[in-house]
Amino acid sequence: MTRHPLKTFIAAACALAFSGLASVASAQQSVEVLHWWTSGGEAAALNVLKGNLEKQGVKWNDMPVAGGGGEAAMTAVRARVTAGNPPTAVQLLGFDIQDWAKQGVLADLNAVAAKEGWDKVVPGALQAFSKYDGKWIAAPVNVHSTNWVWANKSVLDKAGVTTMPTNFDEFIAAAEKVQKAGFVALAHGGQPWQDATLFDSVVLSTGGIDFYKKVFIQKDKAALGSPTMLKAFDRMGQLRKLVDKDFSNRDWNLASAMVISGKAGFQMMGDWAKGEFVAAKKKPGVDFICMRFPGTQGMVSFNSDQFAMFKVGGDKAAAQAKMASAVMDPAFQSAFNVVKGSVPARTDVSDAAFDDCGKKGIKDLAEASGKGALVGSMAHGHAVPAGIKNAFYDVITRHFNGQIDSKAAVKEMVAAVDN
């Protein structure tokens, strides 16, 4: 059967129209974002950014790589960059940003940074990681800090813990009361980065701010091998006695859930834990308590999530610049961090929308920064580069699991720096 010429014309016209639509669709701007924000609170926070970009017509291609602290995500990034096909933006921490910058694979964000005046509103402690060779290469989305404790209020009431511990020994006494009352005292997940997160705080609490700087920032071998370090490891041993038998390899958000549900009294974790409490509709002061790790009041060990922008082809660069700008938008920095549990990476964002823990976080950060008590978190890549960090992780974890004693751990910390 021969086809009527008019039908052929219509078919051809339709095909043309559809291919036109297809090319409009493929011309839509998009960003591919690699991150490890897969817990309830983390995903809710990320949705704020996704929604803002979609309102601007930028499609969000999500590339989540589960695994707290980001270790698995870093392996995925390496594979993509090695294959010559990096994502548009990658969630990175501290020294990892600088490592990628050194390899020449990050984009130059100076044009957008200059237009929006980032230099004036991002604290120097963050800029040290967001810039390389005078160029902005990453957009900081928040400031987290690791020296926090999260507690279930009704568990503490039931256990008769009426005053909050202000030093390490008081904490142990309170936790033992919680344990005696039949609860898990310390909700913890035995993963190297979580053990190291405890260690950040224990070192701060045991040695104070100058000692922390000596061991983790200056990598001073005398301090690393000192009796204070031995005491810090002994204290890790005390904390080990407060966790339940199923702690091995538990994800951090499941440990938070134990506190939220009233199974456990305390969790020692960065303020991303608050994101889980918020997602579960819990109220600070009513359902849960946030406090600085006992003995670290006035000090802040920080980490900052930044979206490092990788060099991508010309067609993707416009969407990338839009994303960088969306991350630095003051209204976004408020909305995102209220959900995430962190505080804004800009100093000019009001604390009005934040709950009491968030307000305290913002105030603590400003005060600590003003008096030299703000330090980069070792556990979260802001004190030493990945090589040394991983060597420290290894020692801390083997000690926490009883494979080496405190004396051996101290020796190995010194050796980790040497190697």
Closest distance between ligand BGC and the C-beta of residue 228, in Å? 26
Residue 14's contacts (CB-CB under 8 Å, 6 or more residues apart) are none
Pick one of 211, 272, 277, 288: the residue that binds ligand BGC (CB under 6 A): 272
Number of residues that bind ligand BGC (CB under 6 A): 12
- In terms of CB distance, is 322 or 380 closer to ligand BGC? 380
209 vs 374: CA distance, rounded Å: 8
Closest distance between ligand BGC and the C-beta of residue 316, in Å? 25
3-class DSSP state of 410? helix
Determine if 129 is a binding residue for ligand BGC (CB under 6 A): no
Closest distance between ligand BGC and the C-beta of residue 163, in Å? 30
Indicate the residue type of 184. Answer: V
Determine if 292 is a binding residue for ligand BGC (CB under 6 A): no
Residue 51's CB is within 10 A of a number of other CB atoms, namely: 12
Determine if 144 is a binding residue for ligand BGC (CB under 6 A): yes
382 vs 304: CA distance, rounded Å: 8
398 vs 386: CA distance, rounded Å: 18
Closest distance between ligand BGC and the C-beta of residue 274, in Å? 10
Question: Secondary structure of the chain: what % helix, strand, coil (to 5)?
Answer: 55, 15, 30
The Cα angle at residue 94 between residues 419 and 118, in degrees rounded to 5: 150
Q: Per DSSP, which regions of 4-162 are E strands?
A: 30-35, 59-64, 89-93, 131-132, 135-136, 138-140, 144-145, 148-152
- In terms of CB distance, is 118 or 272 closer to ligand BGC? 272
Determine if 380 is a binding residue for ligand BGC (CB under 6 A): yes
Query: Given the rule CB under 6 A, which of 65-73, 82-90, 153-161, 235-243 is the region that contacts ligand BGC?
Result: 65-73
Closest distance between ligand BGC and the C-beta of residue 101, in Å? 19
Contacts (CB under 6 A) with ligand BGC, residues 38-57: 42
Per-residue CA distances from 177 to 155, 156, 161, 330, 394 (Å): 10, 9, 7, 44, 31
Per-residue CA distances from 16 to 3, 8, 12, 22 (Å): 19, 12, 6, 10
Closest distance between ligand BGC and the C-beta of residue 64, in Å? 11
- In terms of CB distance, is 252 or 288 closer to ligand BGC? 252
Pick one of 88, 145, 267, 303: the residue that binds ligand BGC (CB under 6 A): 303
- In terms of CB distance, is 305 or 351 closer to ligand BGC? 305
Closest distance between ligand BGC and the C-beta of residue 256, in Å? 10
H helices of 241-385, in order, are 252-260, 273-279, 314-328, 330-340, 356-370
Pick one of 32, 70, 232, 393: the residue that binds ligand BGC (CB under 6 A): 70
Closest distance between ligand BGC and the C-beta of residue 276, in Å? 10
| β-bridge partners, 292 | 148
3-class DSSP state of 24? helix
80 vs 78: CA distance, rounded Å: 6
Name the strand (E) or helix (H) holding 186: strand 184-186
Q: Hunting for tokens 């600085």 — which residue is that?
A: 292
Query: Given the rule CB under 6 A, which of 68-76, 103-111, 208-216, 411-419 is the region that contacts ligand BGC?
Result: 68-76
Pick one of 69, 192, 207, 295: the residue that binds ligand BGC (CB under 6 A): 69
272 vs 199: CA distance, rounded Å: 17
Determine if 68 is a binding residue for ligand BGC (CB under 6 A): yes
Closest distance between ligand BGC and the C-beta of residue 122, in Å? 17
Determine if 382 is a binding residue for ligand BGC (CB under 6 A): no
State which residue has the least CB distance to ligand BGC.
272
- In terms of CB distance, is 303 or 320 closer to ligand BGC? 303
Retrieve residue 87's tokens.
């994502």
Determine if 150 is a binding residue for ligand BGC (CB under 6 A): no
Contacts (CB under 6 A) with ligand BGC, residues 233-252: 252
Pick one of 34, 36, 289, 393: the residue that binds ligand BGC (CB under 6 A): 36
Closest distance between ligand BGC and the C-beta of residue 349, in Å? 18
Residues that bind ligand BGC (CB under 6 A): 36, 42, 68-70, 93, 144, 252, 272, 303, 305, 380
